[in-house]
Amino acid sequence: MKNNLETSIADCHPASVPDYAPLAELRALQLRRLQAVVTRAWQNVEHFRNRLNERGITPENIRSIEDIAKLPFTLKSDLRDTYPFGLFASPMKDVVRLHASSGTTGKPIVVSYTKEDIDVWTSVLVRSFAGCGLHHGDILQNAYGYGLFTGGLGAHYGAEALGAAVVPTSGGNADRQIMLMKDFGVTAICCTPTYFLHLIDRAAELGVDFKELPLRAGVFGAEPWTESMRRHIENKSNVEAFDIYGLSEIIGPGVGCECRRHQGLHIFEDHFYPEIVDPETGEPLPDGSEGELVLTTLSKQAMPMIRYRTRDITLILTGQCPCGRTMRRIGRIGRRSDDMLIIRGVNVFPSQVESVLLEIEGTLPNYQIILTREQGLDQMEVQVEVTPHMFNDKIGALQGLQGRIQAALDHVLGIRVRVALVEAHSLARSEGKAKRVTDRRTS
């Protein structure tokens, strides 16, 4: 018998609750869907067909779920190299939405959705929210950014389909967020965990006690966070804090989410097949071993992703969750195997900073990125060495250069950064591989 907490999902969508499917049924469904998605990608995506040809395999070679290991990986660079639409498996007339996320250089990576993809995305968010104990009647403030980022619209449609009343505040303007939360009697919030820490601090300054508000659940993700941040959030508010995971390449938020047992994040395995591989060799690792999460979309139409290397380091937890769901769980994502930084929920690669600086006259190819956290908010400072004659010039020239760098970085990174110009040779040189990033954010 499931307890009351877990039955809330059945209350929402009684006809489609695969979360508790018997394992044999789930594996059979996964195999059927894997065969279909591989066939779809093979027929419609030249890049993927070439990859299979190189390996001498065809979709017919996928006879069991374990055969997934025969398939080639997809990397972020594949999205970059086929920019913008090269991995689409649907004609543009069937695409109803495009989103984008930071690439490693100036161009973003682009993802697309058909109507069916949007319906799947909405359904996994309904299942995520329901697993957090949210339901029809909740008032949910959605402070994930709306726009090209998947967080805002993804969470929005999921919450609406659940039957919650959505307050689409998007990110920013903490004072207004707090006012609306109080005045509207908001019961649940979605945002990055660090933004919620910032709201807690700002509310205290405004004399608002989160413990006196009806706010009872927070669904936090888009960046790594820790158990100590969870404790801090829960001590300072009456919020039960949930970890939600996802990435644009796979669908957006809702690839996996914690349930009320808080023992890992259930992956919605009927749509996203998880594997863990050794980040160095790419060899599959057994459940329980830490490694890189690799995900395959089992039902994506517009842009199937086969064995996508997420670069997120985690493990697949062994055993079943006491909630009764059969969907496997992953542990918290604490780090990545590449150099991607997440700043206020936005993905940033040091190589993007480098490509901006290379284009700007007067800078030297030596820079440092300093990350700090002020009042719960991430700050990024880019220190850039400039050519000696710039420092000999008038102050106006330096200010002009600083403004140009600032504007170019803001444009390419999509976040506000501070720029500090420093004299040539004043930044520490490293003996080996350049150390570009100093991360002073503490959890």
Provide the binding-site residues for ligand DLL, judged by CB under 6 A.
101, 144, 150-151, 221-224, 243-248, 252-253, 310, 312, 333, 336, 342, 347
Q: Which residues contact 174 (CB under 8 A, 6 or more apart)?
A: 198, 199, 202
Query: Min. distance of Cβ 10 from ligand DLL in angstroms?
Result: 25
Across-strand partners of 272?
297
Closest CA to 19 of 269, 320, 275: 269
Closest distance of CB 183 from ligand DLL, Å:
25
In the complex, the smallest distance separating the C-beta of residue 256 from ligand DLL, rounded to whole angstroms, is 8
Shortest spacing between CB 281 and ligand DLL, in angstroms: 21
CB of 245 to ligand DLL, least distance (A): 4
Amino acid at 230: R
CB closer to ligand DLL out of 343 and 390: 343
Give the nearer residue to ligand DLL in terms of CB position, either 122 or 366: 122
From the CB of 119, what's the least distance to ligand DLL, in Å?
18
In this complex, which beta carbon is closest to ligand DLL, that of residue 79 or of residue 421? 79
The residues pairing with 439 across neighbouring beta strands, listed in sequence order, are 371
- Nearest C-alpha neighbor of 140 from the set 150, 130, 148, 363: 130
Q: 133 or 414, CB closer to ligand DLL?
A: 414
Question: Nearest distance from residue 362's CB to ligand DLL, in Å?
Answer: 32
The β-bridge partners of 63 are none
CB-wise, 109 or 208, nearer to ligand DLL? 109
Return the number of the residue (166 or 357) whose C-beta is nearest ligand DLL: 166
In this structure, which amino acid lies at residue 200? I
User: Cβ 79 to ligand DLL, closest distance in Å?
Assistant: 11
Residue with smaller CB distance to ligand DLL, 182 or 230: 230
Q: In whole angstroms, how close is the CB of 347 to ligand DLL at the nearest point? A: 5
- Judged on CB neighbours under 10 Å (0-12, 13-18, 19+), 413 is buried
CB-wise, 52 or 333, nearer to ligand DLL? 333
Beta-strand relationship, 265-267 and 252-258: antiparallel
Closer residue to ligand DLL, CB minimum distance, 8 or 248: 248
Is the Cβ of residue 178 or residue 343 nearer to ligand DLL in the bound state?
343
Report d(CA 120, CA 124) in Å as an integer. 6
Question: Cα 86 from chain centroid?
Answer: 22
Within its chain, how far is the Cα of 191 from the centroid?
A: 12
Tokens of 279: 């980040």
Give least dist CB 40 to ligand DLL, A.
22
- Least distance CB 188 / ligand DLL (angstroms): 14
Minimum CB distance to ligand DLL smaller for 138 or for 223: 223
Q: Which residue is nearest to ligand DLL (CB)?
A: 221
